[in-house]
Amino acid sequence: MIKKVPLSELEIRMKRFRGKMDESNPDWNIAVIFSKINQYYFTGTMQDGMLIIPRDGQPVYWVRRSIERAELESLFPVIKPMASYRDAAAFAGKIPDTVYLETEVVPLAMYLRFQKYFPFKNVKAADRQIADVRSVKSNYETALMKQAGELHRLALEEYVPGILKEGMSEAELGTELFSFLVRQGHHGVARFGMFETEMLLGHVCFGDSSIYPAYFNGPGGNCGLTPAVPLLGSRERRLKKGDLIHIDIGCGIDGYHTDKTMTYMFGDYLPDAVVAEHNKCVAIQDKVAEMLTPGSIPADIYNSVMNSLEPEFLENFMGFGNRKVKFLGHAIGLQVDEMPVLADGFTEPLQEGMVFAVEPKKGIQNIGMVGIENTFIVTPGGGKCITGNSRGLIPVL
């Protein structure tokens, strides 16, 4: 049975987007959505097509392929077939001088093909308005994220310790974990807004492979299967006694993700100094979570925490060597890396219903990446964790 996004949900999203556009661009006339993720957000399906949103009148979802699938999956009121942009242009009538697009994701070639039939003169960005609308989750969305969070907890806090075996490779652990997640309901991919970034799972690391240089903007790393596919884990890296295991993966239900990092001590305890650094990271997570309340400013949260840390601890905090990130967490939803970010420069107040992954981590030479990550919903009482309660460094002896 096809799970459809409720019509009431789609209507609220469209109303909120139009409200944001009215507020930020009072003279706007038309916005056009091309990206698959935003198509899904506004229509409940993702096809080879585009969604035209006029300031006044009924939005129309134009679908090249597959119109049949779109009609099966979506409750969006108006779905029309098109062979090319010409069909949509003939229906649209007079085209305004300025069109609002997702400038972060629309390729130049697509832009030029679209402009051939929609001869607008100027383009402006609608990315911020879409991100703002998506940042506040509805009850429908948070219910799915809570399901993803519970599966995340089950997988990393209960399932993984039972399948760890000396001599297994990172890739073997990754494939076993991925198989378990999909069998239990995971939607099978971890989606990112970052350009050309999409993962099956995330980082599965033994020992110091978790401080290998990352190819995207995150504190940890992993060499992956090959330079051509820097994902999942290495076939060569084998688990041995005394290893720190670091697993940083996304999990999703019906499009909506949670993000979680869990660590394990395999075969022996880590040195007390390493455990102490890990515990400091956990304490930072808890401090950030307390501040995830409506009205709080992300930049203030970030700077308050960073300014409270000792210079010695800041060395290799949120990365390793010269590879450090300048955030403590990020919003999450249909994509793992959503806006806003818990970082300097983000000054819009938090709102109830926003969801953040908080990930304080620290690289340690010859050991790997310690620390933790969980997903929290912003509430008046602080961040509510939906991905489990373990403090990490689970002993598997």
Which CATH number belongs to the domain containing residue 296 in this structure?
A: 3.90.230.10
Dihedral over alpha carbons 113, 114, 117, 119 (to 10 degrees)? -110
Average pLDDT, the chain: 95
Q: Are residues 143 and 101 in the same domain?
A: no
% residues pLDDT > 70 (the chain): 100
* Structure confidence by residue, pLDDT tens digits, 375-385: 999 999 999 99
Quickly state the pLDDT bin for 222 (edges 50, 70, 90): confident
If you average pLDDT over residues 239-250, what whole number do you get? Answer: 97
Lowest mean pLDDT segment, chosen from 58-62, 209-213, 306-310, 359-363: 209-213
C-alpha to C-alpha distance for 219 and 217, rounded to whole angstroms: 7
Specify whether the CB–CB gap between 63 and 81 falls below 8 A: yes
Encode pLDDT of 132-145 as tens digits: 999 999 999 999 99
- How many C-beta atoms surround the C-beta of residue 162 within 10 A? 8
DSSP string, 187-225: -S-EE-SSTT-EESSEEEEEGGGGGSPPSSSSS-----S
Q: What is the pLDDT of residue 65?
A: 92
Q: Looking at the structure, tell me whether residues 125 and 188 fall in a common domain.
A: no
CA quadruple 388, 169, 191, 325: dihedral positive or negative?
positive
Q: Once rounded to an integer, what is the mean pLDDT over residues 84-110?
A: 93
**Residue at a domain's end among 134, 166, 187:** 134
For 306, phi then psi, to 5°, come to -60, -40
Q: At what angle do helices 298-307 and 272-290 cross, to 10 degrees?
A: 150
If you average pLDDT over residues 99-122, what whole number do you get? 96
Q: What local confidence, expressed as pLDDT, does residue 177 receive? A: 98
Tokens of 160: 């993984």
Burial of 375 (0-12, 13-18, 19+ CB in 10 A): buried
CATH number at residue 83: 3.40.350.10
- How many residues in total does the chain contain? 397
> End of a domain among 109, 134, 159?
134
Residues 176-198 have a mean pLDDT of 91
Q: Which residues pair with 342 in a beta bridge?
A: 329
Q: Which of 145, 255, 156 shows the shortest CA–CA distance to 202?
A: 156
Spatial contact of 268 and 397, defined as CB atoms under 8 Å apart: yes
* Same domain (yes/no): 147, 81: no
Q: Which domain holds residue 302?
A: 136-396
- Percentage of residues of the chain with pLDDT beyond 90: 89
Residues 155, 271 share a domain: yes
Number of domains in the chain: 2
Q: What is the DSSP letter of 333?
A: S
pLDDT value, residue 196: 72
In whole angstroms, what is the distance from residue 369 CA to residue 351 CA? Answer: 31
